[in-house]
Chain A
Amino acid sequence: MHELAVCQSLLREVERVASAHGAAGVSRIEVAVGSLSGIEAALLDRAFSIARMGTSAEQADLEIQEMPIIVWCKACKTETRPASANALLCAQCGAWQVDVRSGDELVLRQVELVQPAEAATS
């Protein structure tokens, strides 16, 4: 439901990067999204196609990497992948006393920038 707000924040970060590097535009954006982040990849994708209008990322493709949930068990000291987002139990021993090592990411990883024409030819 709040994917549009997240998308606007993403585009602010992207525009900051584009302007810091003096880019003419953005061709590709890569984000990492875990299912514990509360963001639905399909909805983020749809929101992006609307939110990008009028920004330097208007022509950009959004690549969403969905991150697996990985937990580290404090009891048996192993790293496993739980079955689902609402059962973050150690797959080895079933304990709930685990640290979530991956799965709650909401991170801008990489941006592909289009360089201004004069910079590309020089």
Chain B
Amino acid sequence: MCRECGCSVTQDDVHVHDHNGTVSARSGNSASVEVLRRILHDNDHEAAHNREHLAGRGILAVNLMSSPGSGKTSLLEATIDAIGARHRIAVIEGDLETENDANRIRARGVPAVQITTGQTCHLDAHMVHDALHALDLSEIDILFIENVGNLVCPAGFDLGQHANVTLLAVTEGDDKPAKYPVMFRAADLVLLSKSDLLDVLDDFAPDQAERHIRALANPADVLRISARRRESLAPWLAWLEARLAEVRSDAARHARRHHHDHHHAAE
């Protein structure tokens, strides 16, 4: 598949695939131009740049998405408490207004950049790129991007993350994945948050939530967590450690190949 636009042109054919378009027909003073380019090309291009930049430094970038009030910031606080001494964490916060979330993260001694989007309902790759300039990347192992609380728009914009993590609070209803299929299809991991409340709720069935996620052809793990129950975070923390190890080994392999290429070039 063509990575520029998602069309079915294979990699081998990309050289014949001009993204300024080729004229296919002319009549009178008009010309039809075949383009076949992703509409969000600018965003996707910037996102790929962010991802490569972060991966090159062995930084794992995680995009956290959910509806407002599902516990993204509480999860980050608990995650910082659990592994902040072992891994250097930084956070990019997206909200329409206020620095409140960034201040909560900073109170834990972790650098945070607040993006206030005004009326915009999602973060995009350009906003994240600007925020990266406000962080010292040589001091980061894991970068969390806490997206604007919204189960619709953030799913449409690649930021340059290595994984999408979507929270579904057990107070929200187990049919949320069926109601917001685009968001839950994009998830690489789903966290059922506030799961300590399952004991007192009789209308949320974790198995049902998982069935709805499978119906989106999504094999993502579904974990029950609670920011208030430290022991419940273990599988989430293990998942993070595993993703970080992957990004680091990719970075090391890339650096070795780069070194190898230079070595040969010098011969």
Give residues in A with beta carbon < 8 Å to B. 1-2, 5-6, 9-10, 12-13, 16-17, 20-21, 23, 27, 31, 36-39, 71, 85-89, 96-100, 105-115, 117, 119-120
A111 close to B30 (CB less than 8 A): no
Residues of A within 8 A of B24 (CB): 110
A113 close to B40 (CB less than 8 A): no
Place the interface of chain B in its size category: 35 or more
A38 close to B153 (CB less than 8 A): yes
Task: Give the Cβ gap from A25 to chain B, nearest Cβ, in Å.
Answer: 10
User: Per-residue CB proximity of B22-66 to A under 8 Å, as 1/0?
Assistant: 011000111111111111111100000000000000000000000
Query: Which of B6, B39, B43, B215 has the most chain A CB atoms inside 10 A of its CB?
Result: B39
Nearest B-chain residue to A17, judged by Cβ: B21
Query: Which of B29, B36, B216 has the most chain A CB atoms inside 10 A of its CB?
Result: B29
Pick from B21, B124, B155, B212: contact of A5, CB below 8 A: B124
Residues of A within 8 A of B132 (CB): none
Nearest B-chain residue to A39, judged by Cβ: B156
Task: Give the Cβ gap from A78 to chain B, nearest Cβ, in Å.
Answer: 15
B217 close to A6 (CB less than 8 A): no
B194 within 8 A of A: no
Give residues in B with beta carbon < 8 Å to A. 5-7, 20-21, 23-24, 28-43, 120-122, 124, 150, 152-153, 155-157, 177-179, 181-182, 185, 212, 214-217, 219
Residues of B within 8 A of A38 (CB): 152-153, 155-156, 182
Residues of A within 8 A of B39 (CB): 6, 9-10, 13, 31, 106-108
Nearest B-chain residue to A11, judged by Cβ: B39
A2 close to B181 (CB less than 8 A): no
Task: Give the Cβ gap from A99 to chain B, nearest Cβ, in Å.
Answer: 8
Main secondary structure of the interface of A (DSSP, over half): mixed
B216 close to A88 (CB less than 8 A): yes
Main secondary structure of the interface of B (DSSP, over half): mixed
* Further contacts, 10 of them, CB under 8 A, given A13-B41, A17-B21: A5-B122, A6-B39, A9-B39, A17-B35, A21-B23, A31-B39, A37-B156, A108-B37, A110-B34, A110-B35
A96 close to B28 (CB less than 8 A): no
If A107-B37, A108-B36, A115-B30 touch, does A21 touch B215 (CB 8 Å cutoff)? Answer: no
If A9-B41, A107-B38 touch, does A96 touch B181 (CB 8 Å cutoff)? Answer: no
Residues of A within 8 A of B121 (CB): 1-2
Q: List 21 A-B contacts (CB under 8 A).
A: A1-B153, A5-B124, A6-B40, A6-B156, A20-B20, A20-B21, A38-B152, A38-B153, A86-B181, A88-B181, A88-B216, A89-B215, A97-B217, A107-B7, A109-B36, A110-B21, A112-B32, A113-B33, A114-B29, A114-B30, A117-B29
B31 close to A23 (CB less than 8 A): yes
Please report the C-alpha to C-alpha distance between residue A113 and residue B32 in the assembled complex, in whole angstroms: 6
A86 close to B33 (CB less than 8 A): no
B6 close to A105 (CB less than 8 A): yes
B21 close to A111 (CB less than 8 A): yes
Of all A-B residue pairs in the complex, the 5 with the closest CB atoms, nearest first, are A120-B29, A20-B20, A2-B153, A38-B182, A86-B181
Nearest B-chain residue to A24, judged by Cβ: B29
Nearest A-chain residue to B18, judged by Cβ: A20
A111 close to B35 (CB less than 8 A): yes
Residues of A within 8 A of B34 (CB): 109-110
Task: Give the Cβ gap from B28 to chain A, nearest Cβ, in Å.
Answer: 7
B153 close to A13 (CB less than 8 A): no
Pick from A12, A106, A114, A120: contact of B38, CB below 8 A: A106
